[in-house]
Structure 1
Amino acid sequence: MREITRFDAQVTALAERRSLGEGDDAATELAPLASVLLRTESASSSQIEGVTAGARALALASIEAKSGPNAQLVTANVLAMQRAVALADDISVDSILAAHDALLAGHEYAAPGRFRTSQVWIGSNAVSPHTASFVPPHHTRVPASMDDLIAFVRRVDLPVLVQCAIAHAQFETIHPFNDGNGRVGRTLVHAMLRHADVTHRLTVPVSAGLLTDTSAYFEALTAYRSGDVEPIVRQFVNASFRAIRNGRHLVDDLERVYDGWGERLPSRRGSAARRLLPHLLNQPAVNVAYVEAATGAAMSAAQRAVEQLEDAKILTRVGSGQRNRVWLANEVIDALDAFAERVGRRG
């Protein structure tokens, strides 16, 4: 737990140190780092459920450029994570329903923002509960079970990471939704960490740590349902250490990229091109409309900024069309892909 808090404090201090004496430009440096860590957590959480999208596809989906359905689902998971963390001061049934609604809005089969109203069972080849690997509680018991879970989440007499692991496992056992249980259950962990003041500004990519060995994670959930709590707690402790190591590596990579940009870009301080640089860490795919919104520049200035960044080889144009043009910050894409590669996946 101390390592999670230390990581949060280190990245916060890094941004404050870099912004010291640099005016408004650098004041935005922490927000992109926090957002990119949240996005990597959302991508890893989705990948645990078999929903995979690369950094390039995610970046394009974030500006509603052409992307596949998986990228759109992961983008929705980012919104769900943001919703859960924003409501961390009051973790409740309503805040969990709000996160589910953000995750699966538009997917009516999942009844977004509503508890399931029928029996479900788990098992890839299970055609009935009799052959399932796990049968969650009857749907009529879900509301009371969730009220009991929230009462447990609000306790203050337990080690926080132990409490998070148990709450997550119990959420998965209740399985309150038709779909999205795993992803919403992992957003609950981050809401709890924020609520307990373990994290203040960052989302530590714990799911990336779990993703390293999904078989062990699922086996730990099965053990919990059999009454053995230790494996799921151990999984969360180990996943947190792995997440912090990988997260620090990612932050270091992005810091090197950002410093390199500053040296290569000839534009004056305060220009639209300079103001855009921090945003590229979090959103490495941009169009002119995004640049206008991010920097507050007029369209002509936004277009010049993109051209300057292209000349400095910070941005690269995607495609050759003249309409709906998009540019990528490939160095950020590479850093995010390297993060995913380090996570690996077993099981």
Structure 2
Amino acid sequence: MSSAELPPPDHASASESGEQPDSSWPAIDHERREWVPAAAMGVRAARAGRASVAYDASVPPMIASRHPVLLPEVAADADEAAAELARFDAELGSRVAGFAPVLLRSEAASSSQIENLTASARAIFSAELGAKGSRNAELIAANTRSLQAALDLAEQITPASIAAMHRVLMESQPRHTPGEYRREQNWIGTRGDSPVGAEFVPPHHERVAALINDLAEFAARWDVPSLTSVAIAHAQFETIHPYTDGNGRTGRALAQSMLRYRGVTRNVAVPVSAGLLADVDGYHSALTAYRAGDPNPIVRAFASAAFRAVSNSRELVSDIDTVRGSWNDRLTARRDSSAWRLLDIFASRPVLDSATAAGALGIAQPNVYPPLKALVDAGIVRSKAEHKLGPFWRSEEILEALDAFAARAGRRQRV
């Protein structure tokens, strides 16, 4: 049975499930571990005696059967935010095919920007076609593929589906063992040589598998309100930090998968990360509060992010509609020309090569050049040769709308 067929409502109570809710969410615990620096290994170290230092690693609580109890106003905001996400998703209706691609890439770009990976819309779409001009754009394109995998795998939330998201994200970086849990201690902070004094030290790698199994059980439940479940599962994932790299992007892909699993979004990936991007410091502070035993800030952060994302996405849809409408007046090709069908394709994929354009139209590649030329002649798209890849055609207007979306979602400046 798919998730969409499951009937339980968001507001099933703890008493209905036969379990009593916790009065407070448990904080992480800690355990003392020994860190052996790489420089302390080898022949010299064996002679001198192995040098090691003690540090405290986190021990996150198991949450599979726990019920979060939130402040009433936070719970209400989360419910309304989930409803707003669902409304926007439904609004697109039959137009989802046109907007799903740009919204998916907007989510990928925003999630990546939280990790300080930025690139223009043009660079991202070009990277998907094989352009090698921007390493950041290539990483964001990989994040797009990871998000698509998250949506494709949303019928079930399992350790295997989470691993698949990470595998797709990191497939070009084998040193980070895509889809495999880390086999070493990691940490968050400025020091690169030791977890001692780090801002946050995730659990020891021996604990990761059991913690992810537990997280997947929590994420698959239906008796916790949808956005509350998404926010807490995301925070727990970031606390576990199960991989050597890509944890933030994978954790936000998990959030999109859970929104689809719970039926909040059925058609598009609403770029919630764009909402989080507006207050990255607040997002990180909310994760810290979660680890201290207070889930309210992270649920509030996701609710606020959802409202901001929907507002920004509506503006993006309006901008693209305006551009697309103007093209009808500018194109003078015959009514039976494939150029007219190309307009909708460029509105959703503003950078194309001839093979992609021909495939989208279902015609032979040599036959796509005349309609592409018609769009160039009308000033709707431009053509430029890419190094070793031949010409790309791009709509500057749609790319500008996407970059404007990113600018609206950008980090707030500290004052």
TM-score, structure 2 length as denominator? Answer: 0.77
CA distance in 2, matches of 1:61, 1:285: 10
Question: In structure 1, what is the equivalent of residue 252 of structure 2?
Answer: 186
Cα distance change, pair 256–142 in 1 and its aligned pair in 2 (3 A): same
Residue 144 of structure 2 corresponds to residue 63 of structure 1? no
Query: Which residue, out of 91, 95, 99, partners 1:10?
Result: 91
Q: What's the secondary structure of 1:144's corresponding residue?
A: helix
Q: Is the 8 A contact 1:272 1:301 kept in 2?
A: no
Please say if 1:229 is aligned against 2:295: yes
Is the contact between residue 272 and residue 297 of structure 1 (CA under 8 Å) also seen in structure 2? no
1:312 corresponds, among 349, 374, 378, to: 378
Of 144, 147, 159 in structure 1, the residue corresponding to residue 210 of structure 2 is 144
Question: Cα offset for 1:76?
Answer: 0.3
Question: RMSD across aligned C-alpha pairs, in angstroms?
Answer: 1.6
Larger radius of gyration: 2
Q: Is the 8 A contact 2:131 2:386 kept in 1?
A: no
Structure 1 CA distance for aligned equivalents of residues 211 and 248 of structure 2:
17
Q: Per-residue deviation at 1:318? A: 2.1
Instruction: Find the residue that maps to 1:342 and give its secondary structure.
Output: helix
Partner SS for 2:383: strand
Compare the two structures and name the one with the higher helix fraction: 1
1:45 maps to 111
Would the aligned equivalents of 1:217 and 1:232 in 2 still touch at CA under 8 Å?
A: yes
- In the alignment, the residues of structure 2 paired with residue 269 and residue 190 of structure 1 have an alpha-carbon distance, to the nearest angstrom, of 40
Q: Find the counterpart in structure 2 of residue 154 from structure 1.
A: 220
In 1, Cα distance between the equivalents of 2:317 and 2:123? 21
Structure 2 CA distance, aligned partners of 1:275 and 1:148? 48
Sequence identity, in percent? 47
CA displacement, residues 264-306 of structure 1 (integer Å, 9 cap, x when unaligned): 1122445321222222122211222222111122233200011
SS in 1 for 2:97: helix
Asked if 1:285 corresponds to 2:351, the answer is: yes
- Cα contact 1:97–1:114 (8 A) shared by 2: yes
Task: Tell me how far 1:322 sits from its aligned partner.
Answer: 11
Aligned pair partner of 1:33 in 99, 121, 132: 99
- What residue number does 1:207 align with? 273
What's the counterpart of residue 340 of structure 1? Answer: 406
Correspondent of 1:110 among 166, 176, 190: 176
- In 2, Cα distance between the equivalents of 1:321 and 1:104? 25
State whether structure 2 residue 382 is matched by structure 1 residue 301: no
- After TM superposition, give the deviation of residue 323 of structure 1 in Å: 7.4
State the shift of 1:90 in Å: 1.2
Q: Gapped runs of 5+ residues in structure 2?
A: 1-81
Deviation of 1:202 after TM superposition, in Å, equals 0.9
Q: Return 46-55 or 285-294, whichever deviates more.
A: 285-294
2-structure distance, mates of 1:133, 1:172: 14
Task: Name which of structure 1's ranges 316-325 and 287-296 shifts more when overlaid on structure 2.
Answer: 316-325
The structural deviation recorded for 1:35 is 1.2
Aligned to 2:46: none
In 1, are the aligned partners of 2:125 and 2:141 still within 8 Å (CA)? Answer: no
Is contact 1:126-1:132 (8 Å) kept?
Answer: no
Quote how far apart the aligned CAs of 1:126 are.
Answer: 5.1
1:98 aligns with 2:164: yes
Instruction: Give, as a single letter, the amino acid of the residue that structure 1 aligns with 2:159.
Output: V
Query: Residue deviations 1:38-70, cap 9 Å, x none?
Result: 100000000000111111101211211342110
Q: Which has the higher strand share?
A: 2
Asked if structure 2 preserves the Cα contact closer than 8 Å seen for 1:250 and 1:339, the reply is yes
**Matches of 1:66 and 1:272 in 2, distance apart?**
30
Q: Distance in 2 between matches of 1:331 and 1:225?
A: 44
Gap runs ≥5 in structure 1 = 16-29
The runs of 4+ residues in structure 1 deviating greater than 4 Å are 319-323
- 1:136-190, CA deviations, whole angstroms, 9 ceiling, x for partnerless residues? 0110100000010011001111110011000000000000000000000001111
TM-score (ref. length: structure 1): 0.92
Q: CA deviation at 1:102?
A: 0.4
Measure, in 2, the Cα distance between the counterparts of 1:169 and 1:320: 41
1:306, 1:295 → 2: CA distance?
12
Cα separation, 2, equivalents of 1:301 and 1:96: 42
Moved more, 74-83 or 325-334: 325-334
